[in-house]
Amino acid sequence: KPAGKPARTILVMGDSFTAWPSSYPTLLAARVDPAVRVVNSGVSGFTIRQIARLLPHRLEEFDPDIVIL
């Protein structure tokens, strides 16, 4: 990874269960190493088809090491 980027990035994609501010991505971020960035890319109301369409854009934007769907 280029300088200035987090050691690792975890991208979490999902619907309202993911987007909710106190959902599992928030809990995950509190439990992983501070050098790991957890990106909550949940969108309330999204279907799996909409998530699948958004995924390539998020992959390009965040270059994650791990993706959770």
User: pLDDT above 90 covers what percent of the chain?
Assistant: 87
User: Which helix (DSSP H) or strand (DSSP E) does residue 11 occupy?
Assistant: strand 8-14
Between 6 and 44, name the one with better pLDDT. Answer: 44
CA atoms of 46 and 30, how far apart (whole Å) = 25
Mode of pairing for the β-strands spanning 8-14 and 36-42:
parallel
Give the mean pLDDT of 10-27. 95
Mean pLDDT to the nearest integer, 31-39:
96
Give, rounded to a whole angstrom, the gap between the first and last alpha carbons of the chain.
23
Helix (H) / strand (E) element for 68: namely strand 66-68
Mean pLDDT of the chain: 93
pLDDT the model gives residue 21: 86
Smallest Cα–Cα separation from 1: which of 65, 55, 67? 65
pLDDT above 90 (res 1): no
